[in-house]
Chains A and B, each alone.
Chain A
Amino acid sequence: MASFRQTVSGWFQRRPVDEETTPPERTRASLGLPQFVAALEEVEHPAVLDLGRVWQATVAFFTRRHCKLYTEDLFQAVSDALAETRAEAPPLAERFLAAALPYPEESVRGILAWDVFDYLPDELVEPLAARLSAVLEPGGVFLGLFHNRLEDERFIRYRVLDEHTFELVPGVLALRRRRAFANRALVNLFSGFRSSRTFVGRDNLRELFLLK
């Protein structure tokens, strides 16, 4: 069973982090999350794609609402894709999307993207936005966070505390925030959606709520 041994050995190498031992830094009120949840409740047994790491609080929040929750830690996937150094490896966008988002089109009702777009290499931004748009079903919703400034570059994990509140946990991945989107850039990036709303907090973090 050497092949199986080889297969799983990589998982141990990828075992991240001790974020679970870090207490939440603070909580943050959300105006987008109630709308996100309301859109989920319009259908029976909606599929939700969470692009952060798995947290019991987030799992409990969505499974209590009869959602099927998909978890894809895109921050980890970005970190892995950037660490690939083989010369024969496929282009970054190709291997990133193949590894991280193998979902059929129009199969998900809601996507929680957190602030992953702020950390992506330039060549992944548009392909990821297009892929997420394709994965969402018509009527589906997207909720993402976008920083207004680059000054505070600490990597933060987010989890759902309740219908109106996120919890912020200091992250340990060595990811550098690469951009602060202008509003116009966000509009262009997600131009295929039916409507959008932006909520800006005092912490210079924008919530972007999109309806497909």
Chain B
Amino acid sequence: MWGNKKPEEVPLPVREREKPLVVSPPTLLPQPLEAAPIHTSKPLARIGRSVSIKGELAGSEELVIDGEFEGSIELADNSLTVGREGRVEANVRARDIVVEGTVRGQIHAADRLHVAKSANVMGDLVAARISIEDGAYFKGSIDVQKPEEQKAAAKPAPGESFRIAAVPVTAKDKLQ
């Protein structure tokens, strides 16, 4: 399962990462799994294997994470791929999301979410279409919602005091 490692990548210097990377998508996008791969002609940014980032990330281009990220990710109408070596602890919003590595947090995909069998995912998943390969480690909730339902669900219902969330778990929850 862990034997198909991609060729070693050379991490970019910090200054270089600040610029959007324009590359030929087929060379960097994940190979097709059971679900259709993400094909796009948009610019693609990449967080390399040796890079660790903490904070809020927002953008209007496709993103591949092979390093570590902690915080929040908002990609609106773009796609996110967490590579096999990628480790993300964040609330994530994007149009399409492919997880091959490790993610902990709330994951919202307006369209498609694919969890590969190499993935470790702990969190609450919301997407219009969800596929999880047998063999993936997953703990949390799975909710299939159309984009309009996701928007409605983002607004708390009148009188709603909590939402069931598998992650994060607070000490108070554990004591109940």
Q: A1-B52, A102-B174, A104-B176 known; A59 and B142 CB under 8 Å? A: yes
A199 interface contact, C-beta 8 A: no
A1 & B120 in contact (Cβ 8 Å cutoff): no
- The stretch of B12-20, B24-32, B39-47, B131-139 in contact with A is B131-139
A56 & B70 in contact (Cβ 8 Å cutoff): no
A107 interface contact, C-beta 8 A: yes
CA distance A14 to B162 in the complex (A): 30
CB distance from A158 to the nearest CB of B (A): 13
With beta carbons under 8 angstroms apart, the residue of A11, A98, A104 that contacts B137 is: A11
B144 & A102 in contact (Cβ 8 Å cutoff): no
Instruction: Look across to chain B and name the residue whose beta carbon is closest to the beta carbon of A49.
Output: B141
Q: A residues within 8 A CB of B160? A: none
CB distance from B67 to the nearest CB of A (A): 10
CB distance from A61 to the nearest CB of B (A): 12
With beta carbons under 8 angstroms apart, the residue of B120, B162, B175 that contacts A12 is: B120
B131 & A56 in contact (Cβ 8 Å cutoff): yes
CA distance A195 to B28 in the complex (A): 56
Q: A residues within 8 A CB of B162? A: 104
Per-residue CB proximity of A47-60 to B under 8 Å, as 1/0? 10000011110010
CA distance A102 to B140 in the complex (A): 11
B138 & A1 in contact (Cβ 8 Å cutoff): no
- The stretch of A16-24, A25-33, A36-44, A147-155 in contact with B is A16-24
Instruction: Look across to chain A and name the residue whose beta carbon is closest to the beta carbon of B149.
Output: A45
B143 & A68 in contact (Cβ 8 Å cutoff): yes
| Tally of chain B residues near chain A (CB < 8 A) | 35
| Tally of chain A residues near chain B (CB < 8 A) | 35
A83 interface contact, C-beta 8 A: no
CB distance from B155 to the nearest CB of A (A): 16
Q: A residues within 8 A CB of B142? A: 59, 63, 68-71
- The stretch of A2-10, A120-128, A186-194 in contact with B is A2-10
Q: B residues within 8 A CB of A72? A: 139
A21 & B68 in contact (Cβ 8 Å cutoff): no
Q: A12-B102, A59-B130, A59-B132 known; A4 and B140 CB under 8 Å? A: no
Q: B residues within 8 A CB of A63? A: 130, 142-144
A47 & B164 in contact (Cβ 8 Å cutoff): yes
CA distance A71 to B162 in the complex (A): 20
CA distance A98 to B70 in the complex (A): 25
Per-residue CB proximity of B123-158 to A under 8 Å, as 1/0? 000000011111111111111100000000000000
Q: B residues within 8 A CB of A53? A: 138
B89 interface contact, C-beta 8 A: yes
A68 & B132 in contact (Cβ 8 Å cutoff): no
Q: A20-B135, A21-B135 known; A8 and B141 CB under 8 Å? A: no
Task: Find the residue from B1, B136, B137 having the highest chain A CB count within 10 A.
Answer: B137
CA distance A177 to B44 in the complex (A): 51
CB distance from A49 to the nearest CB of B (A): 9
Task: Find the residue from B52, B102, B133, B139 having the highest chain A CB count within 10 A.
Answer: B139
Sample of 19 A–B contacts (CB below 8 Å)? A1-B52, A5-B68, A8-B89, A11-B122, A15-B120, A16-B137, A21-B135, A54-B136, A56-B131, A56-B133, A56-B134, A63-B144, A68-B141, A70-B140, A71-B138, A71-B142, A102-B173, A102-B174, A102-B176
A: which residues have CB within 8 A of B?
1, 4-5, 7-8, 11-12, 14-21, 47, 53-56, 59, 63, 66, 68-73, 98, 102-105, 107
Q: A17-B135, A70-B140, A71-B138 are in contact. List 7 more A-B contacts (CB 8 A).
A: A1-B68, A12-B102, A16-B137, A18-B135, A19-B134, A20-B117, A71-B141
